[in-house]
Amino acid sequence: MQCPSCHADDTKVVDSRLAGEGAAVRRRRRCPSCDYRFTTYERIDEAETPRSVRKSNGTVEPFDRGKLVAGLLAATKGRGIGTEHIEQIAETVTDAVRLGGLEVTSAQIGAAVLNELGAVDEVSYLRFASVYKNFDAAADFHREIELLGKLGADRG
Ligand SMILES: [Zn+2]
């Protein structure tokens, strides 16, 4: 770490302790060139902090990319969609989750997945929608098919 006073490239850590209830490390540093002392904090990059998912029943669980991929694989089974493509969708959805803040809702994730699947394959889209929205009535399927039709029209 560069010295903020004389800009020497190397400074020494003279003390190191936990801060913020263990979420950060506080380091006391000294510059050997000019003897300037300063403090730095080391924290986990927010982008790499695990995300929480709030489900519709109010429970919160960690975001699980593996689960997302499993859901995508189930929805696209036998539809000739390559694993590379599925990984791509998972990546896009994971990015959307990260941008959504430290806590996202399962509805937000579901909508992000449907947005991607809608552009790829109608059957996969409906399969995923049926699981994610817990459809119990045929009417829901019809409504979803109509929505999908509109989506296609909007995309030209
Ligand atoms: Zn210095």
The encoded tokens of residue 145 equal 């098919």
What is the CA(23)–ligand 1 centre distance, in A?
28
Measured between alpha carbons, how far is 155 from 116 in angstroms, rounded to an integer? 13
What is the CA(71)–ligand 1 centre distance, in A?
54
What is the CA(45)–ligand 1 centre distance, in A?
27
What is the CA(42)–ligand 1 centre distance, in A?
20
Q: What is the pLDDT of residue 26?
A: 93
Q: What is the pLDDT of residue 36?
A: 96
Give 123-154 pLDDT, tens digit per residue.
999 888 887 766 555 556 667 767 777 766 65
Q: What is the pLDDT of residue 50?
A: 78
Helices then strands, counting H and E runs in the chain, come out as 5, 6
- DSSP designation for 102: S
What is the CA(26)–ligand 1 centre distance, in A?
19
Measured between alpha carbons, how far is 87 from 107 in angstroms, rounded to an integer? 20
Q: What is the pLDDT of residue 135?
A: 53
Q: What is the pLDDT of residue 35?
A: 96
Look-up of token digits 């990260």: 98
What is the CA(31)–ligand 1 centre distance, in A?
5
What is the CA(119)–ligand 1 centre distance, in A?
56
Note if the pTM is more than 0.85: no
Cβ count within 10 A of residue 125: 24
For 27-41, b/e burial (b = at least 16 CB within 10 A) is: bebbbeeeeeeeeee
Q: What is the pLDDT of residue 152?
A: 61
Residue ranges of the chain with pLDDT lower than 70?
47, 133-142, 145, 151-156
H or E stretch at 14: strand 12-19
What is the CA(25)–ligand 1 centre distance, in A?
22
Q: State the angle between helix axes of 65-76 and 122-132 in degrees (0 to 180), rounded to the nearest 10.
A: 130
Measured between alpha carbons, how far is 10 from 31 in angstroms, rounded to an integer? 7
3 state SS of 105 = strand
